[in-house]
Amino acid sequence: MFEVFLKEIKELLRDRKTLMFIVALPLLIFPVIFAVVGYMMAMANLEAEQEVHKVYIIGAEAAPEFTESVKYHKNFELVTANYANKNDIIQAIQNEELDVGIVIEAKAQPESREQTTWQVIYNDSARINYLFIYIEELKEQYQSKVQTLSFNALGVTKESEMEFLISPIKLEKVDTADARESWGEKIGVLLPYLLIPIVLTGAVYPAIDLGAGEKERGTLETLLLTPISRTNIVLGKFLTVLSASLATASLSILSMGLWLFVARTFVNVSEFTVALSHITFVELLAMLSLLIPLAAMFSSIVLSISIYARTFKEAQNYMGPLSMLVFIPVMISVMPNMELTYKTAFIPVTNVALAIKELLKGTSEIGILAVIVGSSILLAVGLLAFCVRWFNQEKVLFR
């Protein structure tokens, strides 16, 4: 078995194409992704900052000072039109004549001493949008003026007293994990989409070479005629594929850690890198130990497929759908309400995706992780047993 393993590794290391997939892909994918995402975010930010929104205010006369401040804001342009009500504005926004409409209730006079509601009508699509933030800022400014006036009228003039009356108790939040959790949630959705297929890719190419490749080159028959048992042959091959897959997985995680570090050192811009820099070495290690049984599962599956196939091409045809299939459990993991529990910890692949997210968020539990690793190992052993039995069948080897 060891002899087979050593020889396969030697041959694998001499294959440039496979090495590309095992080494280059994980090393390069993260900087590329970081760069692309960073660039796109910066561009979107810039665009959002420079954008000038067309705004119309109904009931402007109720709050002239506020209207004034909107008029002189660099991101707003007051349009002259004659919209009578909310529906007119919605219509205008849909026709793209307008970006935002503000409906101020007529009773909104500071003297009336009544809370009023202003409606801000705009299309809040998912892209970065500072529009509401700007309006909120202007409202805050106006509101504090109104408050001061009202307090003065009541005879309250000291600033500290005003603050007390507005909000007698102030809560101070001191929590760095918070930023991490929210970013972990976002990145945690993305990362399994990368890592899990990478683990599979790391296994696929060597497996094709070691299974179908051996048939196509006509070396399988001679290998079967050596006194090594078929079980040992397939175990040797399995170990090779597993090593390749693990090399890919650890390189990916290493590369991710490295590039996060680089990002933190050199481009100290986004809070995202700061948040993620709290990820500890132990957590990266935990991620790797989740990926090991996963890699073993994938290795057994792709090796079984590859042994069955008669040629490289046939094997590749089978692998195509497989790499699509692997996205399904990852997709399940990002479905709403999917959380890592002792139940979901038993769903193969999905559980690993969920656990990676928890690890990124820094909210993982050792118990659940153990369940995931345990159940994955059991499944991996089962699949390996299948692979070994499969390799011992004539109808698989001589088709």
Ligand X SMILES: Nc1ncnc2c1ncn2[C@@H]1O[C@H](COP(=O)(O)OP(=O)(O)OP(=O)(O)O)[C@@H](O)[C@H]1O
Binding site residues, ligand X, CB under 6 A: 398-399
Q: Which is nearer to another protein, 312 or 346 (CB)?
A: 312
The C-alpha atoms of residue 389 and residue 234 are separated, in whole angstroms, by 10
88 is a site residue for another protein (CB under 8 A): no
Q: Which does 144 bind (CB under 5 to 8 A by kind): another protein, ligand X, none?
A: none
CA angle 58, 59, 60 (to 5 degrees): 95
Q: Which is nearer to another protein, 210 or 380 (CB)?
A: 210
The C-alpha atoms of residue 335 and residue 105 are separated, in whole angstroms, by 41
Distance from CA of residue 119 to its chain's centroid?
A: 34
The binder of another protein chosen from 228, 288, 338, 396 (CB under 8 A): 228
Q: Which is nearer to another protein, 261 or 398 (CB)?
A: 398
Q: Identify which range of 9-17, 57-65, 195-203, 365-373 contacts another protein by CB under 8 A.
A: 9-17
State the minimum distance, in angstroms, from the CB of residue 218 to another protein: 4
Q: Which is nearer to another protein, 227 or 336 (CB)?
A: 227
Q: Identify which range of 33-41, 100-108, 220-228, 365-373 contacts another protein by CB under 8 A.
A: 220-228
Q: Which is nearer to another protein, 15 or 181 (CB)?
A: 15
What the block records as the tokens of 154 is: 């009541």
What the block records as the tokens of 143 is: 């509101």
State the minimum distance, in angstroms, from the CB of residue 397 to ligand X: 9
DSSP letters, 117-135, are -EEEEE---SS---HHHHH
Encoded amino acid at 382, one letter: G
Classify burial at 130, counting beta carbons within 10 Å of its beta carbon; exposed 0-12, middle 13-18, buried 19 or more. middle
Q: Judge whether 351 and 340 are in contact, CB under 8 Å.
A: yes
Strands 53-58 and 100-104, bridge-based pairing? parallel
14 is a site residue for another protein (CB under 8 A): yes
Q: Which is nearer to another protein, 180 or 215 (CB)?
A: 215
Q: Identify which range of 11-19, 29-37, 156-164, 373-381 contacts another protein by CB under 8 A.
A: 11-19
Q: Identify which range of 120-128, 213-221, 277-285, 349-357 contacts another protein by CB under 8 A.
A: 213-221
Distance in Å from the first CA to the final CA of the chain: 25
86 is a site residue for another protein (CB under 8 A): no
Classify burial at 110, counting beta carbons within 10 Å of its beta carbon; exposed 0-12, middle 13-18, buried 19 or more. middle
Interacting residues with another protein (CB under 8 A): 3-4, 7, 10-11, 14-15, 217-219, 221-229, 394-395, 397-399
